[in-house]
A and B are shown apart, each in its own frame.
Chain A
Amino acid sequence: MAYSFPEEVLEHVFSFLTSDKDRNAVSLVCKSWYEIERWCRRRIFVGNCYAVSPEIVIRRFPEVRAVEIKGKPHFADFNLVPEGWGAYVYPWIAAMSAACPLLEEIKLKRMVVTDESLELISKSFKNFKVLVLSSCEGFTTDGLASIAANCRNLRELDLRESEVEDLSGHWLSHFPDNYTSLVSLNISCLGSEVSFSALERLVARSPNLRTLRLNRAVPLEKLPNLLRRAPQLVELGTGAYSAEIRSDTYSNLAEAFSACKQLKGLSGFWDAIPSYLPAMLHVCSGITSLNLSYATIQSPDLVQLVTQCRNLQRLWVLDYIEDRGLEALAASCKDLQELRVFPSDPFGAEPNVSLTEQGLVSVSEGCPKLQSVLYFCRQMSNAALVAIARNRPNLIRFRLCILEPRVPDYLTLEPLDTGFGAIVENCKELRRLSLSGLLTDRVFKYIGTHAKKLEMLSIAFAGDSDLGLHHVLSGCESLRKLEIRDCPFGDKALLANAAKLETMRSLWMSSCSVSYGACKLLGQKLPRLNVEVIDERGPPDSRPESCPVERLYVYRTVSGRRVDMPGFVWTMDEDASLRFS
């Protein structure tokens, strides 16, 4: 090509491209663009750690500075993936430790992270800045101590919802005295006490601290000590929000809160008692994100607090808010974009609160910007779903969990097909959908017909036959992740739509009717998929071919079969039959 730009110019132009999609498109234009782009890509997102190997990633993008990797399938959150399944991060850290010394950021979700991995991170990357471990497990506070001790440039340490073996609270003291670059700290998942004086000193010497999420063990009486040292906080997670009723505690707290003029996000509030809520009143008008999902407060205090936050954009709350509270929310918080209502008594046989479909309908009526919903309740009707769909065609995420499986429309006793049908038909930008209640194949026909932008679908205890699965696989053009449990979906639909699976990130099916024979066939037909059977009953070929497998996890990959499978995972490929004999 006679008229091409010098590489440096192209590189500079590419530096303005941040989205993976754009960069991927650029790299397909021609070989030289591919080469230039790969040398200047700094951020990598790996949606499935087994879809590609660390070696391949590093070989292609040697100058990567930030990696984000996801491991286990989503249903692992609900104990559907047995212990020891995989998603070990160590091979990634080891590979990057050798090849990418300039790495700055590691974000992991649902991966197994050992102390060894943390230590390796802390010693390998001199400019390491950001560590986010979301729903991870496998490490102890010793690993955290390595990070604290060695990462001189650390800005963010976020352990959100990870399971950490809490050996001692002293790890925090390993941050050196001259370490002052902390911007974000989230230790809300830790069980035991951290050394409070170490925490206090850390906060005091961190002028850039913007996010501080404490764990439950930090007592309310001590919160003002921290707030006074960090009035610039933008996001705060309190510890337990309960203490003896004392006027001095109260006034200290109120005073400390009122000094925090930049607070936008609040969370924590374990064991909250109403008496201390008014201490926060001054900050409410600035709050855009409020997570009360661990707070035991009920109406009227709960409602009063929520409605004070007129600029609320995101609310996570327990069902103590009840229909009346949601009605009040709808009237007060016109900027609301995301609502999550969690169950306070998910396993109770009887409803303990007055929260029904009506609450969600109210919010859908009153909050024009509502786009993301997660709602646990005990009853639903088609009429309500239709109303919600008509009110809020701008919904992007709609996850409804009716606590009891297969519950019909409580008014008409019909399946909820029509209601969810209305959702997918009206909400044309819907990207994520979780279904519940009594559903027949018809709802899947609606989904396949209308949900053209749907990327993630979760199905449980629904459908009548393979036709349901077929509708989804053949109709949902944008589908990336499909997770199914306890549905009568089997071989026919899966095999007929096998090629579709190569266009998706992954498919999970557990307690369905997919036979071992079909799994083998799928694995043989599509070598670019890993077809993995998870079965704790022993080798699948010790049972008839027609026997349904316990769990099936299918995902596309460029790295071939896993090399780290535990004894209860079998991969289906050409060699499968040879291996088992």
Chain B
Amino acid sequence: MERSAAVFENDLNLKATELRLGLPGTDNEPDHQQSSSSSSQVMKNNKRSCSEMDGSQKTGQHQESGAPAPKAQVVGWPPVRNYRKNVLEQQKKPESDTGSGMFVKVSMDGAPYLRKIDLKFYKNYFDLLKALENMFKCTIGVYSEREGYNGSEYAPTYEDKDGDWMLVGDVPWDMFVTSCRRLRIMKGSEAKGLACL
């Protein structure tokens, strides 16, 4: 939907003053502070008036990969200050990507088969442990830095990126989610060794 700018009585070079209501990146000079991706990435956006109405129309815009294409960024729009933008970027948890989960296998000593859970579904250790307790009908108990899960029937452990077996709960949640490869719910007696480290 393009409209030309107001017509003036004096003779103006309309072409030069034509203001297209399409997304910038075509006419306007890029601001120096604009990232290189934004001005070149002009999405021919047909959804001017119908943006919110027809969901199917929107998905037609998406790229093949299945994830929604990033919007062509207009300088300074939406009006979010740089500091806030930076904080949001840093805080962007993996959950915010649509689709990709983080499934890891979970084994429990004595159970006949393994399960799989999506770590991104949980927000913290508490939620994860409750879910595991439910799934395997066991008690895992409370974590403490000194004693681990001492006194519990079972203790949750995990294999990290380096291939080492660690006690669940030692590191901050976010660090755990990114480094956990698989989970193993150990018998409490066997886990004693880990707790002493």
> A491: which of B8, B58, B61, B68 is its contact (CB, 8 Å)?
B8
Q: Fill in one digit per residue for A77-97: 1 if any B CB lies within 8 Å of its CB, else 0.
A: 111101100000000000000
Query: What chain B residues lie within 8 Å of A293 (beta carbons)?
Result: 84
Q: Bound complex: CA of A525 vs CA of B146, how far in Å? A: 79
Q: Fill in one digit per residue for A386-423: 1 if any B CB lies within 8 Å of its CB, else 0.
A: 00000000000000010111111010010000000000
Query: What chain B residues lie within 8 Å of A379 (beta carbons)?
Result: 52
Min CB–CB distance B137 → chain A (angstroms): 23
Query: What chain A residues lie within 8 Å of B58 (beta carbons)?
Result: 349-350
* Contact status A410-B53, CB under 8 Å: yes
Task: Give the segment of B90-98, B100-108, B179-187 that binds chain A.
Answer: B90-98
Q: Bound complex: CA of A29 vs CA of B108, how far in Å? A: 88
Query: What chain A residues lie within 8 Å of B197 (beta carbons)?
Result: none
* Contact status A536-B53, CB under 8 Å: no
Query: What chain A residues lie within 8 Å of B23 (beta carbons)?
Result: 405
Q: Bound complex: CA of A117 vs CA of B145, how far in Å? A: 49
Q: Bound complex: CA of A242 vs CA of B173, how far in Å? A: 9
Q: Fill in one digit per residue for A6-24: 1 if any B CB lies within 8 Å of its CB, else 0.
A: 0000000000000000000
Size class of the contact patch on chain B: 35 or more
> A242: which of B76, B171, B172 is its contact (CB, 8 Å)?
B172
Query: What chain A residues lie within 8 Å of B34 (beta carbons)?
Result: 79
Task: Give the segment of B112-120, B122-130, B153-161, B188-196 that binds chain A.
Answer: B122-130
Given A245-B125, A346-B78, A544-B16, CB of A511 within 8 Å of CB of B28: yes
* Contact status B88-A407, CB under 8 Å: no
* Contact status B17-A274, CB under 8 Å: no
> A488: which of B5, B71, B80 is its contact (CB, 8 Å)?
B5
Task: Flag whether B110 is at the interface (Cβ < 8 A).
Answer: no
Q: How many inter-chain residue pairs (CB < 8 Å) link A and B? A: 171
Task: Give the segment of A259-267, A458-466, A571-579 that binds chain B.
Answer: A458-466
Min CB–CB distance B96 → chain A (angstroms): 6
Task: Flag whether B131 is at the interface (Cβ < 8 A).
Answer: no
Q: Which A401-453 residues have C-beta < 8 A from chain B?
A: 401, 403-408, 410, 413, 438
Task: Flag whether A564 is at the interface (Cβ < 8 A).
Answer: no
Q: Bound complex: CA of A153 vs CA of B101, how far in Å? A: 56
* Contact status A161-B81, CB under 8 Å: yes
Q: Fill in one digit per residue for B49-69: 1 if any A CB lies within 8 Å of its CB, else 0.
A: 111110000100110000011
* Contact status B33-A82, CB under 8 Å: yes
Q: Bound complex: CA of A164 vs CA of B10, how far in Å? A: 50
Query: What chain A residues lie within 8 Å of B26 (beta carbons)?
Result: none
* Contact status A273-B173, CB under 8 Å: yes
* Contact status A245-B3, CB under 8 Å: no
Min CB–CB distance A401 → chain B (angstroms): 6
A-B CB contact pairs (8 Å), 15 listed: A77-B79, A163-B82, A244-B171, A245-B124, A275-B126, A349-B61, A352-B96, A403-B78, A407-B51, A413-B53, A438-B49, A536-B31, A546-B13, A546-B17, A548-B17
User: Other than the known A82-B32, A486-B24, what 20 A-B pairs have Cβ atoms closer than 8 Å?
Assistant: A78-B80, A189-B83, A245-B125, A245-B169, A270-B87, A294-B91, A344-B88, A350-B68, A376-B80, A413-B50, A460-B77, A464-B3, A465-B6, A488-B5, A488-B6, A536-B29, A537-B29, A546-B12, A546-B16, A547-B16
